Structure 1
């Protein structure tokens, strides 16, 4: 096992990496898939505590983190901390990735196996990430581009934006965050969106084939698809129906948030 403590800008190259765990506080983080040798480049670091880097040749695991910033405790990180780090990592696209930030914006791009991201207040971009993806934030927003796989999103007030998504499974849950999704549904695709007061907007192809179930306690329900029927009772509103031949499924539930379904171009 190799270990480094970093307190100034530096670049390191490693052997084969199958799993990456990176955790920083403030600054910026880029984690990119690459066919080249795994590398770490620390462009800036301003911290009284050094960044600890550990590479295990036997397990092919690479860890880049502050010792006291644990993965399980990251979302509860409340202390005022001025540790600022700007770093980028390149590892193979088949690498398992765990990336955690407090207030540092992060970009994670090109991975196809298992990706797990956490943020307190920073925004996260998932670009071309497929496979099994999990994103958890407190107030940070998550943007997923060209999603192709499974995505689970949980947040208190963070927004979720899915652009050009083709999910197998998409499950999103937020209290007050907004959910915006531009989707092409597979025949077996399954989408479940939940919010308390956050609005939900979904755009589907004009010729989509899916079963739709939308419910809200007091939020407005709007659809560009005339095939869907609306029912309204005291304390409950619903919109449902089958688009095309069905097969896929879309469910959206809010308490007071508005749900809007828009038509896109044919797929």
Structure 2
């Protein structure tokens, strides 16, 4: 096992890596899939404590983190010192990624295995990530681009934006955050979107084939798909129906938020 302590700008290269665990506080983090050797480049580091890097040649696991910053302790760092790190990691696309940030922004791009990103208030971008993906934030926004595979999103007040997504499974839950999605549904795709007071906007191709159900207790429902039936009653509003031949499934539910289902361009 090899270990380094980093106190300033530095570049390291590693042997094969199949699992990455990285945790920083403030600054910027980029974790990028690459065909080249696994590398870590720290461009800036402002911290009284060093960044600790551990590489296990036998298990092919790489860890990059402040020693006292644990996964369970991310939230508590909002009221503590703001350790600034600007770092870029390039890893094989099949590497499993666990990334944790407090107020730092994070970009994770190109991975095809299991990817987990956990944040507090920083913005998270998932670019071209497939496989099994989860993103958990408190107030930070999450943007997913060219999504494939499975995405599970959970937040208190953070927004979720899915641009050009083709999910197998998409499950999003937020209390007051807004959910905006531009999707092409696979024949067996399942999408479940849930908020309490946040608005939901879904854009689907006009020729989509899916069973749809959108519901709100008191919020407004809007749809540009004429085939959906209005089943609203006292204390409950819903639009549901089968578009095309069905097969895929879309559910959007909110208590007081607005839900809009709009036609987009065909694939």
Does TM, normalized by the shorter one, top 0.5?
A: yes
Q: Who is 1:241 aligned against?
A: 241
Structure 2 gaps of 5+ residues are none
1: CA distance between counterparts of 2:138 and 2:23? 16
Deviation of 1:80 after TM superposition, in Å, equals 2.2
Deviation at 1:232, TM superposition (A): 1.9
In the alignment, the residues of structure 2 paired with residue 73 and residue 7 of structure 1 have an alpha-carbon distance, to the nearest angstrom, of: 22
Counterpart position of 1:30: 30
In structure 2, what is the equivalent of residue 253 of structure 1?
253
Shift of residue 58, structure 1, vs aligned partner = 0.5
Partner of 2:174: 174
Give the Cα separation in 1 of the matches to 2:249 and 2:91: 35
Partners of 1:203 and 1:67 lie apart in 2 by: 44
Alpha-carbon distance, 1:234 to partner? 1.6
CA offsets 1:63-103 (integer angstroms, 9 cap, x no match): 00011111133245433222101000000000000011001
**What is the count of residue pairs matched by the alignment?**
267
Separation of aligned partners in 1, 2:179 and 2:218 = 17
Q: How far off its partner does 1:235 sit? A: 1.0
Q: What is the TM-score of this pair, normalised by structure 2?
A: 0.99
Task: Look up the SS of the partner of 1:167 in the other structure.
Answer: strand
CA distance in 1, matches of 2:74, 2:63: 15
1:181 to 1:242, Cα distance in 2 relative to 1, 3 A: same
Give, in whole Å, the separation in 1 of the partners of 2:197 and 2:61.
Answer: 41
Superposed CA RMSD in Å reads: 0.8
Instruction: Determine whether 1:54 maps to 2:54.
Output: yes
CA contact (8 A) 1:75 1:118 kept: no
Q: Which deviations, in whole Å up to 9, do the C-alpha atoms of 1:149-176 show, x marking residues without a partner? A: 0000000000000000000000000000
Task: Give me the whole-angstrom Cα distance separating, in 1, the residues matched to 2:119 and 2:64.
Answer: 16
Contact 1:77 1:120 (C-alpha < 8 Å) held by counterparts = no
CA distance in 1, matches of 2:39, 2:23: 16
Partners of 2:114 and 2:132 within 8 A in 1: yes
Query: Equivalent residue for 2:81?
Result: 81
Partners of 2:77 and 2:209 lie apart in 1 by 43
Q: Given that residues 78 and 102 in structure 2 are in contact (C-alpha distance below 8 angstroms), is that contact kept between their aligned partners in structure 1? A: no
Tell me what 1:100 maps to: 100
Contact 1:155 1:177 in 2 (8 A): yes
Structure 1 equivalent of residue 153 of structure 2: 153
Conserved 8 A contact 1:28-1:106: yes
Q: Deviations over 1:171-212 (max 9, x none)?
A: 000000000000000000000000000000000000000000
C-alpha deviations, 1:235-264, integer Å up to 9, x for none? 110110000000000001000000000101
Structure 1 length normalisation: TM-score?
A: 0.99
Aligned to 1:43: 43
Cα distance in 2 for partners of 1:78, 1:128 equals: 30
- What is the match of residue 3 of structure 2? 3
